[in-house]
Structure 1
Amino acid sequence: MRFAISIPQFFADGEFDPPAFRAHLRRVEELGYDSAWTQEQVLTMHAQPQLGAIETMTYAAACTEHLRLGCSVFVTTLHNPVHLAKALSSLDQLSRGRLEIGVGHGGQGRMFSAFGVDPEGLVSRFTENLHLMRELWTRPSVTFDGRFWQLENAKMEPKPFQKPAPPVWFGGHHRNALRRAVRLGDGFFGAGSSTTERFAEEVRTLRALLAESDRDPDEFRLAKRIYIAVDDDADRARTRIAQKLEKLYGTPNIAAVAVAGTPDDCVRGVREVIDAGAELVLFTPMSAESEQAERLAAEVIPRLR
């Protein structure tokens, strides 16, 4: 089992505290977390201010030495794949090979017009973008004649520090998305907004698809984000995380996806996610991130190993 934690990103104008952020990430590393992860939301969601994913990961890389750094997930359909490939390759070099990349196509509900993207052919764009990025990461010269992108004798250097490329995680819920994950990804990342039961169903589907493919299931990793709150007062924990999640998603009653309560409550909830198939658990506290990181490391994780 590996355990990860989210990187704080929710800061309003002027709230970001560089020394506190550096101290928090260094302490996360000292506590033994495997990795730390961002989320991508370019346009503010439900009036929730959020720092950019790549920028936050880059700052975090400069604050740490060993901690792996990821994003779950980049909505790659909203990016120019050449620019994104370059940015991620550079970050993998700057971090000396500590990058993890989550990808998703974002679904039809996005404001594609703000990014100059036609939502028609969304899945085709998603798969083509990833294919082109991998070509740029692994080939000395790329000639590419796709539906959306065309390159001739294009060279991108330096390549990522990790060879052949950083691990690529897939998100998504639909069976077709899970099929793409098995075909094209290095792992699957269950969303924080999905229940443990939904994640267990996705894992069963993924394992069946892996059995049908020629892939080694041991080389395909499974992860789940968990919104979590540890508190000696269980009711207070549940109330606080419910308020935070409803603000984040703009949806009432979403708190059912979270694990919240006493340390005993949290151990039980996380154990259910592990039993459902998670090999990497990404803890995402919605407040008091430093305190939560300490409590999870001291009172929850040791009882799950």
Structure 2
Amino acid sequence: MPETFRIGFHLTPFWSPTDRHPTQIIDEAIQVVAAASRMGYAWVSIGQHLLSHPTVWPQPFPMLARMAPETGRMRLKTSVLLLPIVNAVEAAENIATLDHICHGRLDVGVSIGYREKELETVGLRRQDRVPKLEESLALMKRLWAGDEVSFAGSYTRVTAGRMGFRPHQEPHPPLEMGAQSVGATRRAARLTDGVFFGPQISWDSVAKLALVFRDARQEAGQVPGTIGASRALIVGPNRQAATTAARAYLEKTFAMYRAWEMQESTMMELQLGFDAPLESWTVCGSPAECVETIGQGRAMGLNRLGFTIYSLPREVKARIDYLQMIAEEILRPAGALAT
């Protein structure tokens, strides 16, 4: 039976503009998400960055815990948790706790990260990212099983340790891995329940990597798993108007990712400028054009889309109305409303 197609949204654009007090930024995001939870979005997700000035990135565990009672049946997701810079035992405990706080509505997305400044905070080098992530996942899965664990890893050690309680979901919350390369996609197929492709790779790259994931799962004799992609959503009367309205935010996004040296040699080519047409890597244009693009993504085998919603209005009520418009004019005709 084919996997149900669902759409959620990322919180990243909700932290802008940053001229508001941080308390106001967080309170307003909670208010908007609470309203959106009744519109048919399948999940809300939050990413993770450290030392992010001048951008704003509230941390995922406290934010999702605060949003849990406001979000009804909508799922909560880390997208993504930078697992190499997090203590694996603390992450396992926090995830188990958060899974109970939200009564089993948690999904956990992880990735290796890419910023030197973040790796430096925990004394890691770039070459440590993959082994630390793999070691962390192995330890976390053992801890979530509820048994006493002794573990002698290269980065974490546990001697006869056992968590006080297991996660709400069995055997643990669904795991997915962020990927923008063939290697990361194969890693996701091997270690997690699904893959979630990054926002800056093209639709052509998404199609190629989706095939890599499906083939790897099939070769390993595993169930198909979920295949998702993070996509910028840019809505307007037409593609030109949508592009014009989102240009300032896009320029800031490109500048941030270039400054953070997001592009790596092993990755698919990232879209970090205006050289490629927006429709080649985003969901862009009129609502009808957006629905058409979503259909093309589904034809590639995607069953999850996470929107980073550009051109958000500034005021809370206007943001709520904008999300309602997207739900009614894009999610509904795309057959993606969660019930």
Q: CA deviation at 1:108?
A: 6.8
What is the distance in 2 between the residues matched to 1:6 and 1:268?
Answer: 21
Letter in 2 for 1:3: I
Which digits, 9 at most, give the CA deviation of each residue in 1:260-288, with x for residues without a partner? Answer: 22112211222222222210111220323
Against the structure 1 CA distance between its residues 290 and 197, is the aligned structure 2 distance closer, same or farther, given a 3 Å change threshold? farther
How far residue 100 of structure 1 moved from its aligned partner, in angstroms, is 0.5
Secondary structure, aligned partner of 2:37: helix
Match of 1:81 in 2: 88
Alignment of structure 1 residues 141-156 onto 2, 5 Å: 141-156=148-163
Specify which structure has the bigger relative contact order, considering alpha-carbon pairs within 8 angstroms and separated by 6 or more residues: 2
Which moves more between the two structures, 151-160 or 230-239? 230-239
TM-score using structure 2 length: 0.83
CA contact (8 A) 1:230 1:295 kept: no
Q: Is 1:297–2:327 an aligned residue pair?
A: yes
What displacement does 1:233 show? Answer: 5.2
Give the structure 2 partner of residue 270 of structure 1: 294
2:280 is the alignment partner of 1:280:
no
Conservation of the 8 A alpha-carbon contact between 1:242 and 1:255 = no
Does structure 1 retain, via aligned residues, the 8 Å contact 2:10–2:306?
A: yes
Q: Deviations over 1:217-273 (max 9, x none)?
A: 2xx011111110222254332123232132123143277332222112211222222
Could you tell me how far apart the structure 2 residues matched to 1:22 and 1:75 are?
Answer: 23
Q: Deviations over 1:37-67 (max 9, x none)?
A: 111122216x322222222212211312211
1:75-131 CA-to-partner distances (Å, cap 9, x unmatched) read: 100111111111111111111111100111114755421233244432111100111
Secondary structure of the residue that 1:121 maps to in structure 2?
helix
Residues 108 and 48 of structure 1, relative CA distance in 2, 3 Å threshold: closer
Q: Offset of 1:158 from its aligned partner?
A: 2.0
Q: How does 1:112-191 map to 2 (within 5 A)?
A: 112-191=119-198
Compute the RMSD of aligned alpha carbons.
2.1
Q: What is the SS of the residue equivalent to 1:194?
A: coil
Provide the C-alpha distance between the structure 2 equivalents of 1:155 and 1:210, rounded to a whole number of angstroms. 31
Residues 285 and 292, structure 1, Cα contact 8 Å, conserved in 2: no
Q: Is the 8 A contact 1:233 1:262 kept in 2?
A: yes
Determine the structure 1 residue equivalent to 2:8.
4
Alignment counterpart, residue 237 of structure 1, candidates 242, 250, 259: 242
Partner Cα distance (2:218, 2:247) in 1: 38
Question: Aligned pair count?
Answer: 302
Contact 1:196 1:276 in 2 (8 A): no
Is the CA contact (8 Å cut-off) linking 2:84 and 2:133 kept in structure 1? yes
User: Structure 1: which 5+ runs fail to align?
Assistant: none
Structure 2: gaps (5+ residues): 256-271, 314-318
Change in CA separation of 1:66 and 1:236 when aligned onto 2, cut-off 3 Å = same
